[in-house]
Structure 1
Amino acid sequence: MTPSTAAGRFRTGTRPSPMAMEQTGRFEAAFRSHHPDIGLEIVKITSQGDQHRGPLAEIGGKGAFTRRADAHLLDGRLEATIACAKDVPGPHDRAPGITVGAVLPREDVRDVLVLPAGHPPATLDELPPGTRVGTSAPRRAALLKALHPKLVPVPIRGNADTRMNALDAGTLGADVMIAALAGLRRLDLADRASQILEPTFWLPAAGAGIVVIEHRTDDHTTSGLLAPLTHAPTRVLLDAERATLAALHGGCLTAASVHATLDEAGDLTVHAVVLDPAGGAPLRSVATGPAADPAGVGHRAGERLLHAGATHLLGVRL
């Protein structure tokens, strides 16, 4: 056992944003239901990504959201950390020795269009040419250029509630914005969605709507404590989507989307797309297979994109 769990105390790190604290509350409820005799300590860690207001590329991509928490985890100050799966960098972009120990049930994966308070409802098709659409994701910016070339994507930063307040105040630097529906629901702001963008044409980010709890790879005690919290179907979806990104050598600065689904028979389907940041035609692939092999199915989806020409868009070599 680690010193803290041996003493009946389990330390978990999380970002302090309202959205992060809501998902931490869901983890806390699940953990206490399985381990009522272990004291749970929530440690708030302000990430470099929370403090930086410029493009994430300037500070190393989305690893800026996990770097400080990873350091706390690896040096033993924490037993686990909580994060949105879409914000967790791949294994090639972070310190070794960290693994996913639990995966909570997936929430809604869809993105939504958000308008300023008091603005009449509208869809992306109905917005006038030149409308500035705020987003922090290369994926969303590339989708806008490909599907709605009359609109202008502009970069925005900040937590969801901060961006919403700035949008309403007219200080966001954008006329409207794209946000994750799951995030708005966590903040009780889902009614602000003017249009829900269906994933059949607006593919979500890999890991969208999934909360993961990570721990040190060699901490078998924590692994055992977290394992009962995992929602098995969501773990299959996450493993498939991450395998696709790994095949593409993709990270948060990659304009790529992956969406895995399970049908009633337990068959796994992975839809993947690599987007042209300049707005050209996207490349798409689909792979299907058994849920028992999510990594294999996801990897095939990624390989098919590479062989279809995605290497040119991604700047990687086969």
Structure 2
Amino acid sequence: MTFSTTTRPFRLGTRPSPMALEQTGRFAGAFRARHPEAVLDVVEIVSEGDRHHGPLAEIGGKGAFTRRADRYLLDGRVDSTIACAKDVPGPHDRAPGITVGAVLPREDVRDVLVLPAGRPPTGLEDLPPGTRVGTSAPRRAALLKALHPHLVPVPIRGNADTRLNALDAGTLGADAMIAALAGLRRLRLADRASQILDPTVWLPAAGAGIVVVEHRTDDPATARLLTPLGHAPTRVLLDAERAALAALKGGCLTAASVHAAVDETTGLLTVHAIVLDPAGGAPLRAVTTGPATDPVAVGHGAGVRLLGDGAARLLAARA
């Protein structure tokens, strides 16, 4: 099935969370400005991750926020879907037939510490021993154990606004929580950050701060609509980071970090890839550099190097 602006609306699938709807609204504005002849309909799709309130591992983990949207896309109920890149599984963990049509400009990759409303700002290092810090990401939990062993990571679930409300009400099951700064900014709640964490120490997730719009691989008409809306420099970074994660066969529930950057002077792409120990031990690190014209090869090399250094042992470990 292909899309034609002359026969029906263009259907864009998104999760109904406030954060997802904000990023969808921004993309919809750009789409309408670029394609004024098209009618765009936003289709809200409640994901399995939205419905399930327990650990994501109970429902397969990887793809919990995208599997239902994938079905809508492959069944032809929507023409494209929009999601945070860090929530999108690699090709080894999803049905074939879906490709990235547009990568939006990268936002801030940093994580932040959030305290209950009214608490004076402080940092992770100053929290009392035994403080429960909420997070749903194995990467963040492993970093807490490695960098701040006096703190206790606890699993939490829910959209960012729901978590914030529960934190303030004392019903989150945690005394503080870690959140993405980009997400708080989308919700206009960046002032809730008690501490912005240094990304050279507190390592970002692969695809952090990046939003992707996907479509069916057999739909060139939609590809032509989406391609002009993409940000090529961010696409290079995302391709490299996802290639490293794919080599590790990792996803959103992997305790790993991959971050790519391009030197504008030399044109060289550098990929930093790290696999963390879920128990808080020493991580494994790899750095690869190569031409930005071949980001997949550069990123894949970083992942392969980690595997050669024994990353499979840490990837299979449990805290």
- Normalization by structure 1: what TM-score? 0.97
User: After superposition, what is the alpha-carbon deviation per residue over 1:129-153, rounded to whole angstroms, capped at 9, x for unaligned?
Assistant: 1000000000000011111111000
Gaps of 5+ in 2: none
* AA matched with 2:277: D
1: CA distance, partners of 2:191 / 2:205? 22
| Residue identity opposite 1:9 in structure 2 | P
1:205–1:3 Cα change, 3 Å? closer
**Structure 1 residues 159 and 97 mapped into 2: Cα distance closer, same or farther (>3 Å)?**
same
**CA distance in structure 2 between the aligned counterparts of 1:298 and 1:63, rounded to whole angstroms:** 21
Alignment-derived partner of residue 307 in structure 1? 308
Who is 2:284 aligned against?
Answer: 283
Deviation, 1:190, is 0.3
Q: Which residue of 1 aligns with 2:210?
A: 210
Mapped contact 1:105–1:234 kept (Cα < 8 A): yes
Name the count of aligned residue pairs: 316
Q: For structure 1, which segment, 39-48 or 249-258, has the greater mean C-alpha deviation from structure 2 after superposition?
A: 249-258
Is the 1:138–1:277 Cα contact (8 Å) retained in structure 2? yes
Distance 1:315 1:135 in 2: 20
- Distance apart, 1:3 and its partner CA: 5.4
In 1, are the aligned partners of 2:239 and 2:295 still within 8 Å (CA)?
yes
Aligned equivalent of 1:193: 193
- After TM superposition, the structure 1 = structure 2 runs for residues 146-295 of structure 1, keeping only pairs within 5 Å, are 146-265=146-265, 266-295=267-296
How has the CA–CA distance of structure 1 residues 234 and 66 changed in structure 2, closer, same or farther, with 3 Å as cutoff?
Answer: same
Q: Which amino acid aligns with 1:259?
A: H
- What is the DSSP-based 3-state SS (H/G/I as helix, E as strand, rest coil) of the residue aligned with 1:207? coil
Please report how far the alpha carbon of residue 199 of structure 1 lies from its aligned counterpart in structure 2 after TM superposition. Answer: 1.1
CA distance in 2, matches of 1:3, 1:86: 27
Report the RMSD for the aligned CA atoms in angstroms.
1.2
The offset of 1:305, in angstroms, is 1.1
Q: Is 1:49–1:62's contact at 8 Å kept on the other side of the alignment?
A: no
Q: How many Å apart are 1:54 and its aligned residue?
A: 0.3
Give the TM-score of the pair, scaled to structure 2.
Answer: 0.97
Q: What do residues 118-174 of structure 1 show as CA deviations (whole Å, max 9, x unaligned)?
A: 111110110111000000000000011111111000000000000000000100000
Alignment of 1:124-135 (within 5 A): 124-135=124-135
Report if aligned partners of 1:8, 1:37 keep a CA contact under 8 Å in 2. Answer: no
Q: Is the 8 A contact 1:123 1:195 kept in 2?
A: yes
Distance 2:247 2:199 in 1: 21
**Cα deviation digits, residues 170-214 of structure 1 (max 9, x gap):** 000000000000000000000111111111111111111101000
Q: Please list the CA deviations of residues 269-306 of structure 1 after superposition, one character each: whole Å capped at 9, or x if unmatched.
A: 11111011111111111111111010011011111111
Please report how far the alpha carbon of residue 2 of structure 1 lies from its aligned counterpart in structure 2 after TM superposition. Answer: 2.1
2:272 aligned partner, one-letter code:
H
Letter of the 2:302 counterpart: A
Q: Which moved more, 1:55-64 or 1:165-174?
A: 55-64
How far off its partner does 1:315 sit? 3.4
Matched, 1:54 2:54: yes
Match of 2:310, SS?
Answer: helix
Matched position secondary structure for 2:133: strand
Percent sequence identity over aligned pairs: 80
Work out the CA distance in 1 between the residues paired with 2:169 and 2:16.
23
Deviates more, 1:172-181 or 1:264-273: 264-273
Output the CA distance in 1 between the equivalents of 2:292 and 2:53. 40
Structure 2: how far apart are the matches of 1:176 and 1:130?
Answer: 11
Task: Answer yes or no: is the 8 Å Cα contact 2:5–2:37 preserved in 1.
Answer: no
5 Å-filtered alignment, 1:31-110, equals: 31-110=31-110
Structure 1 gap ranges (5+)? none
- SS of corresponding position for 1:303: helix
